[in-house]
Amino acid sequence: MIISKKVIQNKNLKEKIAFNIFRIFSAIVVLSLIAILSFITYNGISVINWNFLTQMPEDGMTKGGIYPAIIGTLYLVAGSMIFAIPIGVFSGIYINEYTKDSWYKRFIKLMTNNLAGIPSIVFGLFGMSLFVNTLGFGDSIIAGSLTLGLMVLPVVIRTTEEALKAVDNSFRLASLALGATKLQTIRKVVLPMAFPNIITGIILSIGRVSGETAPILFTVAAYFLPKLPSSIFDQVMALPYHLYVISTSGTNVEASRPIAYGTALVLIGFVLIVNLLANALRRYFGKKVKMN
Amino acid sequence: MIKFLKSIFEKLIEGTLFLSSTITTLAIVLIIIFLFKEGIGTFNQTPIEDGFSLVVNKNNPINELSAPEIKNIFDQNITNWKTVGGKNDSITLFNLDNIGEFYSDSAIGENFEFLPQCISDYTEKNPGVVAFVSTRYTEKGFTGKILTTPKVKVTEFISQKEWFPTAQPAAQLGVLPLILGTLWVSFGAILIALPLGLSTSIYMAEIASPKIRNILKPLIELLAGIPSVVYGFFGLVVIVPEIQKLFNLPVGETALAGSIVLAIMALPTIITISEDALRTTPKSMKEASLALGANKWQTIYRVVIPYSGSGITAATILGIGRAIGETMAVLMVTGNAAVIPHSFLEPVRTIPATIAAELGEAPQGGLHYKALFALGCILFIITMAINLIVGYISSKKKYNAK
């Protein structure tokens, strides 16, 4: 009896130790996130004001704002989404609705996964080789957008596929039983139900596109360009690239540090808003779909 | 009729959808074509810049020199032809800038029109000479011997220890320090991220209350959403100076800084994938274990972890993959010295960082440009292999579950 009591005590002690280690490690993870966020916020908040967001950079980027970089990033987000959303959603629909469990489905999924695993710098190399040099777009918004769009395509495909998978099959069957065609079923029944999750995925991919630096290094990003682009064949500045250059290779690294903090905070703020928006949408539509 | 049109319409839409689904495959094929077309071009070129050649005395038995040999000769690490397989004769470096010491201005000519003859004359008189000159000086009437340089070989590319693609007279293309740098930084990152990530995923999947989990989950997603350049910036202004102070180093940009930043970035991948894997453990299995008298911890490490082992492995490998391919953050904090690393407290340079740092300066179509694409090929092959391994592991798991 005494021994078994000891055994129990021993194993409960072990459990306690293990669980506390897990708690501490999780706390470290969360704290490091909070540390990064609060450090950037603390140093960047004083820089951000209306002028910072709406003025051109001045004096070798040691003064002035980041307006062209913000606009550039918005252009790139829009450009890449024009490319990635239709193709991504279409191919998600095709994979989930039209292919049976065949070799083709497995093949496409494998290819999508592989594309997702390719490092962003390789996309940069590819974009430079194909869009900038071979197709002759030069360093331009269109070259950068296509590169970014290609990179984010797997995310859109996967989320669309997951969203469609979550729609219960009985809805499809009911619609087909009522005489609707397959396309009508997809358009009128499946897509509306999957819509919130698809939108969430798209919003998250916007977050991803807006922060990527490596693919735009050689396809679009300009070091210092205090004017707005006039066509899709122009170069633009972009927020992530701007942060990179002013924190490592600006003319006066120390003097532009505050601007770097401000840019970092704007980037984080953008990602934060995107995440919150996605979560809110998920929750809002989630309730609605359930109620229906 | 309307029905017929409708069915045509449906077929058209289906065709469009099908075409869209082929884009990812097409993209991968295009990436392979464009990456490897440029990358393989590296091995069709000699490490000596176009339009230049190395010349020696015509009685010199040496016919070709490899890139490292050329570098050592011009750095005066090799001073005797015997070392590279020639006669026992000391090497005389001839520099075009010093030609005035040997020939008068009138001999060279006012517009250097007699320069080729001077070079020719000099190489003939000095048996141990080696000169790096433009090919237009050796076109006609040249009496010396023009050395051939072998093309860059794949084995040399991977095994040589120096990366100095802009070196004169011969570019040094050894990827070994870059590969080792990448591996050091990535494995350092995994060493830090794995215990933290697995603990967090176990905590989230098994221990935390749903309330805490609902707070943690979006936080981890946010961690994944922060752009890599922001992590790099944080590393640059916080981690790098701290490491410099802590270890009393001349510079803080080290492999360790890279590993720490990458660890933070690999955490979300590891946490979300292994948490998903942990959650697939059937409740019945856990309850059976608890009913046998095991406590929660025993259940976790005897039942839950073994059951989700393949998922955890997949998470780890994907985490490594993310770390290997990461560019900007590493570029900003590792110091980018292309030397073979000996400790975590030295600057290193990774493959992606090299591409990002040098592609802008490499003239398009040149050897340097192509060599950077070859680096991209290496990166592509590594990540492809990682994806296939992960795919294999997860498909195997499904099989077992059946």
Look at residue A227 in the predicted model and tell me its pLDDT: 75
Sign of CA dihedral B298, B300, B305, B307: positive
> Is A91's CB within 8 Å of B228's CB?
no
Look at residue B289 in the predicted model and tell me its pLDDT: 92
Residue in B23, B356, B380 nearest the CB of A217: B356
Min distance A118 CA to chain B CA atoms (Å): 6
The predicted-structure confidence for B46-57, as pLDDT tens digits, reads as follows: 888 777 888 888
For the cut 70, the answer to whether the pLDDT of residue A1 exceeds it is: no
The predicted-structure confidence for B11-53, as pLDDT tens digits, reads as follows: 888 899 999 888 899 999 999 999 999 899 888 888 887 778 8
> Is A267's CB within 8 Å of B234's CB?
no
pLDDT class of A93 with cuts at 50, 70, 90: very high
Look at residue B151 in the predicted model and tell me its pLDDT: 82
> Is A240's CB within 8 Å of B227's CB?
yes
For the cut 80, the answer to whether the pLDDT of residue A255 exceeds it is: no
Look at residue B402 in the predicted model and tell me its pLDDT: 37
Which residues belong to CATH 3.40.190.10 in chain B?
Answer: 52-150
In chain B, which residues have pLDDT < 50? 399-402
For domain B52-150, which CATH number applies: 3.30.70.1400, 3.40.50.2300, 3.40.718.10, 3.40.190.10? Answer: 3.40.190.10
∠ at Cα A60 (A58, A63), nearest 5°? 40
How far, CA to CA in Å, does B248 sit from each of A235, B55, B213, B335? 43, 49, 40, 16
CATH topology of domain A54-291: MetI-like fold (1.10.3720)
**Chain B residue closest to A261 (CA)?**
B233
Min distance A87 CA to chain B CA atoms (Å): 5
Q: Tokens 């252009």 — which residue?
A: A75
Look at residue A292 in the predicted model and tell me its pLDDT: 44
The predicted-structure confidence for A144-176, as pLDDT tens digits, reads as follows: 999 999 999 999 999 999 899 888 899 999 999
Residue A32 in contact with partner chain B when CB distance is under 8 A: yes
- What average pLDDT does range A248-257 have in this prediction? 74
The answer regarding whether domain B176-401 maps to CATH 3.40.190.10 reads no
**SS3 (DSSP) at B284:** helix
> Is A26's CB within 8 Å of B204's CB?
yes
Look at residue A60 in the predicted model and tell me its pLDDT: 64
The predicted-structure confidence for B157-198, as pLDDT tens digits, reads as follows: 888 888 888 877 788 888 899 999 999 999 999 999 999 999
Residue in B221, B230, B383 nearest the CB of A119: B383
**Chain B residue closest to A146 (CA)?**
B27
> Is B203's CB within 8 Å of A274's CB?
no
Look at residue B341 in the predicted model and tell me its pLDDT: 81
Range from A124-133, A219-228, B384-393 that averages highest in pLDDT? A124-133
What is the Cα–Cα distance from A244 to A145, expressed in whole angstroms? 19
What is the Cα–Cα distance from B20 to B29, expressed in whole angstroms? 15
How far, CA to CA in Å, does B166 sit from each of A124, B163, B181, B359? 22, 9, 20, 12
The residue of B36, B185, B230, B387 whose CB has the most chain A CBs within 10 angstroms, and thus the best one to mutate to test that interface, is B230
What is the Cα–Cα distance from B387 to A191, expressed in whole angstroms? 30
> Is A247's CB within 8 Å of B233's CB?
yes
> Is A40's CB within 8 Å of B234's CB?
yes
Assess contact for A55 and A64: CB atoms under 8 A.
Answer: yes
Closest CA relative to residue A40, chosen from A210, A283, A267, A193: A267
> Is B28's CB within 8 Å of A114's CB?
yes
For chain A, which residues make up each domain, given as ranges? 1-44, 54-291
**Chain A residue closest to B373 (CA)?**
A125
Look at residue B53 in the predicted model and tell me its pLDDT: 80
Look at residue A285 in the predicted model and tell me its pLDDT: 74
Closest CA relative to residue A110, chosen from B270, B318, B400, B387: B387
> Is A117's CB within 8 Å of B386's CB?
yes
Assess contact for A208 and B225: CB atoms under 8 A.
Answer: yes
Sign of CA dihedral A7, A8, A11, A13: negative
Residue A130 in contact with partner chain B when CB distance is under 8 A: yes
State the SS3 of B181-196: HHHHHHHHHHHHHHHH
Look at residue B46 in the predicted model and tell me its pLDDT: 82
> Is A87's CB within 8 Å of B20's CB?
yes
- What average pLDDT does range A226-247 have in this prediction? 85
The residue of B32, B42, B199 whose CB has the most chain A CBs within 10 angstroms, and thus the best one to mutate to test that interface, is B199
**Chain A residue closest to B18 (CA)?**
A94
Look at residue B288 in the predicted model and tell me its pLDDT: 92
Residue B221: its chain A contacts at CB < 8 A?
Answer: 275
For the cut 60, the answer to whether the pLDDT of residue A282 exceeds it is: yes
ipTM entry: 0.90
Query: φ, ψ for residue B155 (rounded to 5)?
Result: -65, -40
> Is A150's CB within 8 Å of B13's CB?
no
Residue A113 in contact with partner chain B when CB distance is under 8 A: yes
Assess contact for B279 and B212: CB atoms under 8 A.
Answer: no
Residue in A18, A125, A240 nearest the CB of B229: A240
Look at residue A291 in the predicted model and tell me its pLDDT: 45
pLDDT class of A61 with cuts at 50, 70, 90: low
Residue B237: its chain A contacts at CB < 8 A?
Answer: 247, 257
The predicted-structure confidence for B348-366, as pLDDT tens digits, reads as follows: 889 999 999 888 888 888 8
What is the Cα–Cα distance from B398 to B241, expressed in whole angstroms? 47
What is the Cα–Cα distance from A26 to A114, expressed in whole angstroms? 30
pLDDT above 70: percentage of residues in chain A: 95
What is the Cα–Cα distance from B331 to A88, expressed in whole angstroms? 31
Sign of CA dihedral A229, A235, A241, A246: negative
Look at residue B185 in the predicted model and tell me its pLDDT: 92
Which residues belong to CATH 1.10.3720.10 in chain B?
Answer: 176-401
